[in-house]
Amino acid sequence: MKKNELYETLMNHRSIRSYTDQPVNEQEMTLIMNAVQAAPSSINGQQVTVISIEDLQTKEKIAELTGNQPWVAQAPVFLLFCADFFRAKLAAEQNEENLVITEGMESILVGATDVGLAMGNAIAVAESLELGIVPIGGVRNQPLELIELLGLPEYVFPVSGLVVGHPADLSAKKPRLPQKAVWHKERYDTNLDGLIKEYDQTISNYLDERTNGEENRGWSQQVSSLYNHIYYPEVRKMLVRQGFNFK
């Protein structure tokens, strides 16, 4: 197989939650942001904005708003990835058109997907520069306060944060679902119960070993205990507040 440096970097991805105090320099940030902009974008709409935060007080506030995640304040830089139709709004005004896309679910899907693509590029470049990262879904925990704090205008909403810095130590790589469960050929195959049970055993063994028996729940137990409620219930309110509708 012709594996290569890029492939190895992606396969080596892991979440880092402990950072040294070495800063991320402007050149590194520029490479990351160049890659953010190089990601594919639906209709070339470029509906992604990144706010980079280095101010300690702001990072501390964000650490709190995201559900008390200390690495947000500890790491040198926090990136907020937003889906952004505010520029589309300005574009519409400049051309005396109405902005209608934000009335429909389509805009939510496109915005989030494009953020994922852009953030994936940011992560890949950061890790290729030997920086560590951890995505922060917790930006959807108290999104209205975050919007206020960072001055997000209408038609912009936070999708994910990304902590970036120099790793103080490397975490382990958790095993993933058996590939047959996520890669289907020609048609969706709903026969998945056995694969989930197999993966439960893998995760259970993995955790048992790493925690000296303190944690050994399987994947299905963990996921079902997190998905038996809407754990970020403010998301709809945030979208309405920012001007979106769900037609």
In the block, which residue shows the tokens 């964000």? Answer: 62
Q: Is 71 in the site for a copy of itself (CB under 8 A)?
A: no
First to last CA, the chain: 46
Sign of the CA dihedral with 156 first, then 157, 159, and 163 last: positive
Q: Is 2 in the site for a copy of itself (CB under 8 A)?
A: yes
Q: Is 67 in the site for a copy of itself (CB under 8 A)?
A: no
We find the least distance from the C-beta atom of residue 173 to a copy of itself, in angstroms, to be 8
Q: Which positions from 35 through 64 interact with a copy of itself, judged by CB under 8 A?
A: 35-40, 42-46, 48-55, 58
Q: Is 168 in the site for a copy of itself (CB under 8 A)?
A: no
We find the least distance from the C-beta atom of residue 213 to a copy of itself, in angstroms, to be 20
Map residue 149 onto helix, strand or coil.
helix
- CB nearer to a copy of itself: pick between 57 and 212: 57
Give residue 233's identity as a one-letter amino acid code: P
Q: Is 70 in the site for a copy of itself (CB under 8 A)?
A: no
Question: Dihedral through CA 19, CA 22, CA 26, CA 30, nearest 10?
Answer: -30
Of 67, 116, 198, 206, the residue at the interface with a copy of itself (CB under 8 A) is: 116
Of 18, 20, 113, 204, the residue at the interface with a copy of itself (CB under 8 A) is: 113
Cα–Cα separations (whole angstroms), residue 167 to 48, 75, 130, 163, 164:
27, 9, 8, 11, 9
Q: Is 24 in the site for a copy of itself (CB under 8 A)?
A: no
Question: Dihedral through CA 193, CA 194, CA 198, CA 201, nearest 10?
Answer: 60
We find the least distance from the C-beta atom of residue 21 to a copy of itself, in angstroms, to be 19
Between CA 96 and CA 141, with CA 83 as vertex, the angle to 5 degrees is: 135
DSSP 138: G
Q: Is 75 in the site for a copy of itself (CB under 8 A)?
A: no
- Stretch touching a copy of itself by CB under 8 A, among 68-76, 145-153, 163-171, 206-214: 145-153
Q: Which positions from 90 through 109 interact with a copy of itself, judged by CB under 8 A?
A: 90-92, 94-95, 97-101, 103-109
